[in-house]
Amino acid sequence: MYKPFHYQETSVFKFSNRPVGQIAPPVTPSAFAPDSRYESRFSYAGYDVAGNPGMIVMTNGTTTAYLWGYNNTYPVAKVTGSNYSTVAALVNNATLQSLSTSDAAMRTELNKIRTGLAGTIAQVTTYTYAPLVGITSATDAKGVTTYYEYDNFQRLMNIKDKDGNIVKHMDYHYQGN
């Protein structure tokens, strides 16, 4: 469920010189003016049911929608140039939220966003994860997927390109006392 968020330009603060333990008498609060060097660059336009940002609007009007999966714990899609409701309507949220969805099934579901927004200005980046371990794949806006593998101790072991070639390999060496 998407919750709209309303951004306020001013904040209200109440200051007091009273010693610790004494409550300040009620007074009319004053508005706090931000530093003149403050520059608004974006605002949050909504949150999902878990409090994760659903959409960000830049001051130039560019929107970026985020979809969260794996029980709302990981961002699974970042879509620049589209809005949250359009992106969310393209996928089955139950598939995104399931902790038992395979990587291949998750990538297939997330690819529905890419195909559904084909021919628009939207740039889609998607991610899959092994919950409590780490990211297992990232597909960029060009559709190129990078894969991540972990060893038995859940440490990153290999980063592979779209063809399965190892781009980077990590070895872990421990020295005893």
Is-above-0.85 flag for pTM?
no
pLDDT of 13: 46
pLDDT of 14: 47
Which is more confident, 174 or 95? 95
**Backbone φ and ψ of 170, nearest 5°:** -110, 135
Task: Share the mean pLDDT of the chain.
Answer: 86
pLDDT of 174: 82
Is residue 115 over pLDDT 80? yes
The neighbouring-strand residues paired with 127 are: 138
Q: How far is CA 127 from CA 70, 134, 137, in A?
A: 11, 10, 6
Is residue 94 over pLDDT 90? yes
Assess contact for 29 and 71: CB atoms under 8 A.
Answer: no
Q: What is the mean pLDDT of residues 19-24?
A: 60
Least confident of 7-21, 46-60, 88-102, 137-151: 7-21
Q: What is the mean pLDDT of residues 71-76?
A: 96
Mapping DSSP onto H, E and C, the string for 41-101 reads CEEEEEECCCCCEEEEEECCCCEEEEEEECCCCEEEEEEECCCHHHHHCCCCHHHHHCCCC
Q: What are the residue boundaries of the structural domains of the chain, listed by start? A: 42-169
